[in-house]
A and B are shown apart, each in its own frame.
Chain A
Amino acid sequence: MRNSILERCFNALLTNGAFLALVMYLIIFIIYGISQGSYAVSVYGITVLFNNSIVIAIAAVAETFIILMGGFDLSVAGIVVLTNTLIAVQQGAGVGGALLCLIIAIGVGGVIGCINGFLVSRIGLQSIAATLGTSILCSGIALLVLAQPGGYVPDEIAYTLTDSIGPIPVAAIIALLIGLISWILLRKTNFGAGIYALGRDRTAAELSGIATRSVEFRAYVMAGIFSGLAGFMLSAQTGTGDPHLSNSFILLTFAAVAIGGVSFDGGHGSVIGSIIGAGILALLQKTLFSVGVSSFYTGIFQGSIMLLAMLVGSLSLIISKRRAVS
């Protein structure tokens, strides 16, 4: 290999979705930095940036598990809102209360994930329909739990998790942890290899001896748990409960996954890309605000970035195919 570094970077840009997303992030951040000055790189400024992206980032991680497998999980939104309302009405306080909230988040996510996994892998329902059902169900239960916005989230969550330790935002540490755990699960275990295999070719995966139903079930459980954690972090951000989650939440989650270069056909992409994708969505919003573009235009820019990322992604497919031919 005599390729120069520049050439290699260019190749990675085209073939590695996560790298492309990272470069886009840096470009937008430079614009943001120019318009914001020193605030952009201050500890507070960066903490706010991470706090704004962390919920979608974790939700996108959850979604990545399912999309890599060639499925869709719409229940992410339902789990987030149900977790949020349950945390808001729980009565514990202090560190104990915070731990209880974490258990609620993981428990709710795990249970809904099990239901999804059962419906899809055992009964054989289509993932997009089954998870739409459980999502609506969760939103409905959330309304019973908490009829209108309100409730209380322990300070240990609402303050500590949105703060910074020295110069490092807590949200950044959480993002790193979530990224590391999910990366290990996907890249360093047989379960992860099974997810990639299933997403690419179900029959071949079966003939390779992969217990496809079990892999599918476990993936939905993991997605559920990560969705619960997203709900936990949402509670930390808002400090309150709200049974009405923005309708665009689930769509932004998908957008983050797409920007991160994960193929919606399954079998290709990485969880790191999805996290950076979520970061881009939040950063873009702040950048537009700081350069004085009306928030009416946010959607236009977010949509364009997503299309751009996917266009480059599809371009890379064409190029790599041409190379394979020649």
Chain B
Amino acid sequence: MSYLLEIKNLNKNFGATKALQDVSLEMQHGEIHALLGENGAGKSTLIKILSGVYPQESGDMLLCGKTYSPKSIVDARSLGISAAFQELSLLPNLTVAENLFLPNIPKNALGLTSAKKVEQMTEQILSEYKIEGIRPSQKVELLSVAQKQRLETVRAMIHDPKLLILDEATAALIDPEWLFEQVDHFTNNGTSILFITHRLREARRLCDQFTILRNGCKVITEKFDGISDGEIFRLMAGRSIDVRFPACASTVDVNNDEVTLSVQNLRADKKIPKDDGITFVLRKGEVLGIAGLEGQGQRELFNMLGGSKPIVGGSVEIEGCSMKIRNPHDAMKSGLVLIPEERKTEAIFPGIKTSCNVSISVLDAVKNWCGIVNRNREIDYVDFASAKVQLDNNYYGMPIDALSGGNQQKAIVGRALLSNAKCLLLFDPTRGVDIGTKQNIYQVIRDFSNAGGSVLFYSTELPEIVGLADRCAVFYRKKVVTEISHDCLSEPAILEAMLGMSPDRISGEDNA
């Protein structure tokens, strides 16, 4: 029996970290194979070795029976493997056409690249792959995230690979059907696809078999038929994760009058009328879920409260005192701590030790009278936070960007916990983190609220809101249109409100 791709005992280390240990994998011709695993399990490393970004350390790879060890991405492409990367490898300052053909933009008779020719070719390719609304001469920075993702995917496809690697290729697509169509088209021609995703539903829809990686080791290769989602999650996490959400706040009376945060007609835009802003209250010990479709004003709310977006109008009161929030420093002084959306660019200090990334919020508390930081006291604080978020202290000395996304997020949450916050502002804190870390974050949120803190919690995943929140405020057209009490909290109820259907439950404003 001949395989398209055979990987035998592949190993890769980064310093002391074993990114891949003895990973073996076989793929048939025309097979769509799902690669599953938590963040940091080694999926990215594996595909980067396959696509020629990293060299392998030891082990054998066979492509169509021949030894395969690509020296570069271009080499890998010519041998028959190309990849669409999760982190989007497009260059925003170049045109769509240039990006599509990098690093070898076709040349004219004079040996020079010709924009006209390349753009014509691009036009053709885009229509062939049924992509609309993108002009070849457009700079990529003007595209939406979804358009970029399609372009990235097409860029991998046009090399007619024997093996196509799609790393989270649907993450930004609102309509993944486009991708499924392309994938079907490809596999009909005998191409194999390695499909990396966090969304099990999509993996089941597309793939026959899956392989799970955990901590750099292969756990299992199995057919999707006859194995439950729960079992797959258990294999990915390496432990039972049946209890997905910590018990809800029965201990705290959510109808108490102790209001932590009161927001009145908060507006991010001059065009919004004075009495039509964002209004809600958040009580002591309460987790208020925020839901809404993309771009309905929830991002602005978090950024305004966190001090990173100017407040145009309206008032913010914390424990009854009116607060002026002009910058993140003001917000923190008031007790509002934001865990931002973009971990990489807004939260971590790359290249700096993880412990320092955690302790940055308490440096004032651990310095002595002449301003010198007491490292022992600093580590005490870091230990305290790490225990809460279950961050392994082996990571303390590593630069934070060397950690997996999930562990980075733990460090960021730990930092927020140290900052004496009265109210945590969590903007999609579980996005792109593995299921084990999610579990941790849920627990941290619940512990924080049980201890009397308040939490504003936005998530794109409705089950999280239903499972975690005491109450839910739904955004539509830049304001809170509906508040759903704990008893009525359900996915359909939230969804209905998110879509702007006339709210008949509680305190909705007329919006039809």
The listed residue with most A CB atoms (<10 A of its CB), out of B88, B98, B102, B103, is: B103
B105 within 8 A of A: yes
Interface contact B142-A324, CB-CB below 8 Å:
yes
Q: Which of B70-78, B173-181, B490-498 contacts A (4 or more CB under 8 A)?
A: B70-78
B87, CB-defined interface residue at 8 Å: yes
Classify the secondary structure of A's interface with B: helix
Q: Which B residues lie within 8 Å of A199 (CB)?
A: 93
* Distance in Å: Cβ of B138 to nearest Cβ of chain A: 12
B88-101 interface mask toward A, CB cutoff 8 Å, 1 = contact, 0 = none?
11111110001100
Q: CB of A205 within 8 A of chain B?
A: yes
Task: Say whether, besides A189-B112, A193-B113, A196-B94, A207 and B85 are in contact (CB < 8 Å).
Answer: yes
A196 near B72 with CB under 8 A, answer no
In the complex the two chains form, is A206's CB within 8 Å of B53's CB?
yes
Asked whether any CB of chain B lies closer than 8 Å to the CB of A190, the reply is yes
Residues of chain B with a CB closer than 8 A to A210's CB: 102-103
Q: Is B345 an interface residue (CB 8 A)?
A: no
- CB pair B73 A190 closer than 8 Å: no
For chain B, the bracket of interface size reads: 20 to 34
Q: B104 at interface (Cβ–Cβ under 8 A)?
A: yes
Contact B92 A193 (CB under 8 A): no
Are the C-beta atoms of A197 and B91 separated by less than 8 Å?
yes
| Contact present for B113 and A190 (CB under 8 Å) | yes
Contacts of B98 in A (CB 8 A): 193
Query: B102 near A208 (CB under 8 angstroms)?
Result: yes
Q: Is the CB of B72 within 8 A of A209?
A: yes
| Cα separation A210 to B98 with both chains bound (whole Å) | 12
In the bound complex, residues from chain A placing their C-beta under 8 Å from that of B72 are: 209, 211
Asked if B104 and A196 sit within 8 Å, CB to CB, the answer is: no
Q: A200 touching B142 by the CB < 8 A rule?
A: no
Q: Judge whether A203 and B105 touch: CB under 8 Å.
A: no
**Considering the chains assembled together, what is the distance between the CA atoms of A206 and B89 in angstroms?**
8
A208-B90 contact, Cβ under 8 Å, with A189-B112, A324-B142: yes
Question: Which 6 residue pairs across A and B have the least CB separation, nearest first?
Answer: A207-B89, A188-B112, A209-B73, A210-B103, A208-B102, A209-B103
Looking across the interface, which residue of chain A has its beta carbon closest to that of B52? A209
**Contacts A/B (CB < 8 Å), 18 sampled:** A188-B114, A190-B103, A190-B104, A193-B102, A196-B94, A197-B94, A200-B91, A200-B93, A200-B94, A201-B91, A204-B90, A205-B91, A208-B90, A209-B73, A209-B103, A209-B104, A211-B74, A267-B91
Residue of B53, B85, B93, B113 near A189 (CB, 8 A) is: B113
Q: Determine if A194 is an interface residue (Cβ-Cβ < 8 Å).
A: yes
| Residue of chain A at shortest CB distance from B51 | A207
In the docked arrangement, what's the CA distance between A120 and B94, Å? Answer: 24
- Contact across chains for A207 and B113 when beta carbons are under 8 A apart: no
Q: Is A268 an interface residue (CB 8 A)?
A: yes
Interface contact A208-B113, CB-CB below 8 Å: no
Known contacts A193-B98, A204-B91; 18 additional CB pairs below 8 A are A188-B113, A190-B104, A193-B113, A196-B91, A197-B91, A201-B92, A203-B87, A204-B90, A207-B85, A207-B87, A208-B73, A208-B89, A208-B99, A208-B102, A209-B77, A209-B102, A209-B103, A324-B142
Pick the most buried of A188, A203, A207: most chain B CB atoms within 10 A of its CB. A207
B90–A194 contact, CB under 8 A? no
- The reply on A184 being an interface residue by CB < 8 A is yes
Residues of B near A184 (CB, < 8 A) are: 112
Interface residues of A in 273-306 (CB under 8 A from B): none
Give A189 to B101 CA distance when docked, in angstroms. 12
Q: A210: shortest Cβ distance to chain B, in Å?
A: 4
Which residue from B85, B102, B114 sits with its C-beta under 8 Å from A197? Answer: B102
What is the chain B residue whose CB lies nearest that of A263?
Answer: B93
User: Is B93 a contact of A267 with CB atoms below 8 Å?
Assistant: yes
Q: Interface code A161-195, partner B: CB below 8 Å = 1, 0 otherwise?
A: 00000000000000000000000100011100110
